[in-house]
Amino acid sequence: MNDILERILTRKREEVALLRKQHTAASLMQLAQAQSAPRGFCAGLRAMADAGKPAVIAEIKRASPSKGLIRPDFDPAWIAGEYERGGAACLSILTDEDYFQGSADDFKAARNATALPAIRKDFIIDELQVIESRAIGADCILLIAAALPPARLSVLHRTARELGMDVLIEVHDRSELNAVLGAKLGPGLLIGINNRNLRSFETRLETTLDLLPWLPPGHEVVTESGIGTPADVQRMLAAGVQRFLVGESLMRQPNPGVALKRLVATS
């Protein structure tokens, strides 16, 4: 199958081969250990949710495969600062270059501009990328169930946790959720339900609502993609979902931080 996710993953395998030529695990580990301690990503979300507020992971992305160029005037540090002022719990920063026009430099600029915990949003398939993520300052990484067999997911999850990072594990349907739960990664996972099908781009908020009943208690859920209006936020809150990953609808507004405030306002 040559869909967009497969094409991205093919490119990632080439990037990992390049990374392996430039670094060893030991040399990346040295860079990772020189970083200050990770900011608690799950803790940041939990603090906001426990205070009764929608906990938003505000995303910084210039472009995407489904939408093309989203934000031509792209200043990651400024956007991060505005998100922090707008009440974001955490940041999500795209680092994929070929499909999202992101970079490691974008990640560092945005994270260094705020005190917020930040997830490196990329397609991670190899341990070297996990160590590299900590080396650029990541507090959390994304692991996508559709891209990883359970045994690999388990290894990458363990490596990230050993480096002190949190992990957002993304699923889209019941079979992916069952694969994640079957990987026995332990209690208290941060599970993202992506409302967007990464192969067809179809985006339905019902994806989260339909999967929720299949999640055993003890995990924290993030609804991802397609959140565009205060009504969307209220709909999720009513279903018991308190954590949100929001990108495009904020990035298209002149001031993404002001847009965030409006999105989560109760009236």
Ligand X SMILES: O=C(O)c1ccccc1NCC(=O)[C@H](O)[C@H](O)COP(=O)(O)O
Which residues make up the interface to ligand X (CB under 6 A)?
Answer: 4-5, 59, 61, 64-66, 194, 196, 198, 201, 224-227, 245-249
Q: At closest approach, how far in Å is the CB of 260 from ligand X?
A: 12
Q: Is 53 a catalytic residue?
A: no
Q: Is 225 a catalytic residue?
A: yes
Q: Which of 12, 15, 59, 82 is catalytic?
A: 59
Q: Which of 194, 197, 220, 248 is catalytic?
A: 194
Q: Is 121 a catalytic residue?
A: yes
Q: Write the Ramachandran bin of 218: left for phi over 0, alpha for psi from -120 to 50, otherwise beta.
A: left
**Residue 26 φ then ψ, to 5°:** -65, -40
What count of other Cβ atoms lies within 10 Å of the Cβ of residue 46?
17
Residue 214 structure tokens? 């299949």
**Whose Cβ is closer to ligand X: residue 220's or residue 224's?**
224
Cα–Cα distance measured from residue 170 to residue 190, given in angstroms and rounded to the nearest whole number: 9
Q: Is 170 a catalytic residue?
A: yes
Q: At closest approach, how far in Å is the CB of 34 from ligand X?
A: 29
3-state secondary structure of 54: coil
For the chain, count helices (H), then strands (E): 12, 10
Q: At closest approach, how far in Å is the CB of 51 from ligand X?
A: 23
Element (H, E) at 140: strand 140-144
**Whose Cβ is closer to ligand X: residue 101's or residue 225's?**
225
Q: At closest approach, how far in Å is the CB of 70 from ligand X?
A: 8
Cα–Cα distance measured from residue 30 to residue 243, given in angstroms and rounded to the nearest whole number: 33
Q: Is 108 a catalytic residue?
A: no
**Whose Cβ is closer to ligand X: residue 28's or residue 205's?**
205
Q: Provide the annotated active-site residues.
A: 59, 61, 121, 170, 194, 224-225
